[in-house]
Structure 1
Amino acid sequence: MPHNIPASVVTDTFSLARISAFHAFFKAENQAQCLGALVWHQSVAAAMWPLICLVEISLRNRLHVGLSRMYAAAWYAGARNSMPLQTKLQSRADELLSATDAAGNARIGCPDDFVAAMSFGFWVEVLRQVHVNRRYRLVEAIFPNYGPLKDKKLWADAAKTWIPLLRRLERHKRVRDQIGHHTPLWNIKYTVRETEPPRVPKSPGAMMLALRQEVSSLRQTLLDMDVSLARLWDGTFFQQAFLQLTTTNGLYYYMYHTADSGKVLRPFRETRYLSIAELQASGVPRLV
């Protein structure tokens, strides 16, 4: 937690548009509180990043393995036994496959190089192009714990099976891009009732709800792939930091303690992080 940072760093470092947006959304009363909100926002993004990376890496590797078994090891190569890709997507793959480094050596020497080099967006686009007759088998290979797999007859209706999964991954990709490009996270929508359309947060509290829903969704994606993958997130420092940050007490501590805010707030109570054994025993991650 940073201390004694001059509040003038806000005007000297950040654009007026960004400062104004944070002032308005967090109702900051001065530059010091605005700086605190900025640092809090960055801290929340940093806490979420390992989970997003875990989902992205798991997805791309499992998708690659599934497509390799369905087509060929180099399913992206544009050969006779490759997966049919739209022209734009195939061009992206071909461009990378023909790329060389400064010494003239090929950048892609094996399928693993290709998988690691392609963006999250590429993999989501690949999923969009999976033929309808191959969707069930591919999802079964990548997301064996995905609920709708229990009834194969349901897959005649993509709106109840394929599309919800695809929309979830698209949302993960958008959140990843927002964090990577340092855009405001209060644009992430949240759901109050399943029968109502998602809402854009209008307050910090609603923003925290949206972020917690997204983290829960990211974790569910890991569970759908393999239950053990979620254990790489559960009980970690990042998970508990996220839970602590996404509280009003966590936000206000940053806003009133990052710089001289002109207000006095009671000291933030020290948090004892639960051990992994305690988390498993409790069933639900929580703070004490």
Structure 2
Amino acid sequence: MSNENSIELDPKRIPTARDVLSTLGQPRIAPYVDFFKCATDEAALGAYFWGQAIASAFQPCLGMYEVALRNAIHVAASRFSSKQSSHSHPWYDYTRQDSLPLRGKTREKVTALLFSGSPPVRLASQPSPDSVVAALSFGFWPSFLAGLTRPQQSRIFTDTFHGNPNSKPAHWSNTDNVASLLSTLKEIQDLRNAVAHLEPIWKPHRLKIKATHWSHSVASLRQKHAAMIQVMAWCCPASAAAVEHSYANRIFKSICSTDAVQAFMHNPFDAGEMSLFALGPGGARRVAAVQQPAANEAA
């Protein structure tokens, strides 16, 4: 179907970096120029494109992490609430005597799934526990874990993070151990929200680091990714192993590298096709910016 108002783009015309930067605007691009020390328009646009690429590269791991974490918590909470009789129990239903504590926004989120109207009336047909768990937001889970009593935390954390070598009730009875893990979960939640809202995830204040060079942010982002896989391994070793061996993980390691940043800044358009860097045995490495026709034909 034709559209007389549509714009036909010339596939052979590559826009200049200045063309794109003028559209993005100075306020949006200035933080990139300052932090990445961009001396040219190409470098500025390359830094911006790298920021998009690294945020996108986090998505597969974040998606697997969220599902693995919520399902592990659900099973552990179900076992605790049902006295080990069920792996999928309505532990969240605060009208039941065997429910687990929900406060504030976590309680409001459950209410929205079990009730309707104002004042709220309980739905005649209640959603299954698995349906409720799937509908709850990412931010629900750290808040739920933080709101448990200490005895509940010691048992539910032990079951949820069973892959942790120290995962025993005595370990999770220690408030410092619980606080450390909850802090990690909250940091991952903040990163996930930044990715979802298309915010620059490389900024030092967001990563809670002191960075004098952009390479520090690259290293911190790698650490965040590794932390996700570590927590996932504690919840579901198979999911963590799948991520470790996935194509998406190889792409992440290639993009989350100093070589990739330099490649994008050297030539933002070719870097987008990954013609400036490749993943070798030792990690991401820079390759020639100019490709000779003979080499292309040989490939």
Q: How high is the TM-score relative to the length of structure 1?
A: 0.79
| Residue in structure 2 matched with residue 181 of structure 1 by the alignment | 197
- Which structure has the larger Rg over C-alpha atoms? 2
2:147 to 129, 132, 136: 129
1:109 to 118, 127, 135: 127
The percent of aligned pairs where both chains have the same amino acid is: 25
Provide the rounded CA distance (Å) in 2 between the counterparts of 1:33 and 1:107.
57
Indicate yes or no: 2:186 matched with 1:170. Answer: yes
- Contact kept? 1:33, 1:259, Cα under 8 Å: no
Provide the rounded CA distance (Å) in 1 between the counterparts of 2:278 and 2:171.
49
Question: 1:1-288, aligned counterparts within 5 Å?
Answer: 4-7=14-17, 8-12=19-23, 14-71=24-81, 73-79=89-95, 80-99=97-116, 109-149=127-167, 152-159=169-176, 161-187=177-203, 199-259=209-269, 268-271=276-279, 286=283
- Contact kept? 2:21, 2:41, Cα under 8 Å: yes
Provide the rounded CA distance (Å) in 2 between the counterparts of 1:107 and 1:210.
47
Deviation string, structure 1 residues 228-274 (Cα, Å, up to 9, x no partner): 221111122221112111222211111121259xxxxxx735445x7
Helix, strand or coil: the match of 1:147? Answer: coil
- Contact kept? 1:190, 1:201, Cα under 8 Å: no
How far 1:128 sits from its partner (Å)? 0.8
How far 1:190 sits from its partner (Å)? 10
Helix, strand or coil: the match of 1:231? Answer: helix
- Contact kept? 2:150, 2:173, Cα under 8 Å: no
How far 1:217 sits from its partner (Å)? 0.7
Helix, strand or coil: the match of 1:76? Answer: coil
Provide the rounded CA distance (Å) in 2 between the counterparts of 1:246 and 1:109.
41
Aligned residues: 256
Change (3 A) 1:107 1:54: farther
> What letter corresponds to residue 56 of structure 2 in structure 1?
A
- Contact kept? 1:51, 1:218, Cα under 8 Å: yes
Deviation string, structure 1 residues 66-101 (Cα, Å, up to 9, x no partner): 11222252222221321121144212210232359x
Provide the rounded CA distance (Å) in 1 between the counterparts of 2:141 and 2:174.
23
Provide the rounded CA distance (Å) in 1 between the counterparts of 2:124 and 2:225.
38
Helix, strand or coil: the match of 1:182? Answer: coil
Q: How high is the TM-score relative to the length of structure 2?
A: 0.76
Of 51-60 and 235-244, the range deviating more from structure 2: 235-244
> What letter corresponds to residue 86 of structure 1 in structure 2?
R
Provide the rounded CA distance (Å) in 2 between the counterparts of 1:287 and 1:240.
9
Root-mean-square deviation (Å) = 2.8
Structure 2 unaligned segments of length 5 or more: list them.
1-12, 83-88, 118-122, 286-299
How far 1:132 sits from its partner (Å)? 0.3
Helix, strand or coil: the match of 1:4? Answer: coil
Higher strand share: 2
Provide the rounded CA distance (Å) in 2 between the counterparts of 1:107 and 1:286.
53
Change (3 A) 1:40 1:98: same
Query: Comparing both chains, which one has the higher relative contact order based on Cα–Cα distances under 8 Å and sequence gaps of 6 or more?
Result: 1
How far 1:5 sits from its partner (Å)? 3.8
Provide the rounded CA distance (Å) in 2 between the counterparts of 1:94 and 1:82.
13
> What letter corresponds to residue 198 of structure 2 in structure 1?
H
- Contact kept? 1:23, 1:34, Cα under 8 Å: yes
> What letter corresponds to residue 175 of structure 1 in structure 2?
L
Deviation string, structure 1 residues 99-151 (Cα, Å, up to 9, x no partner): 59xxxx9997322221111111111110111110111211121111223325x
- Contact kept? 1:189, 1:210, Cα under 8 Å: no
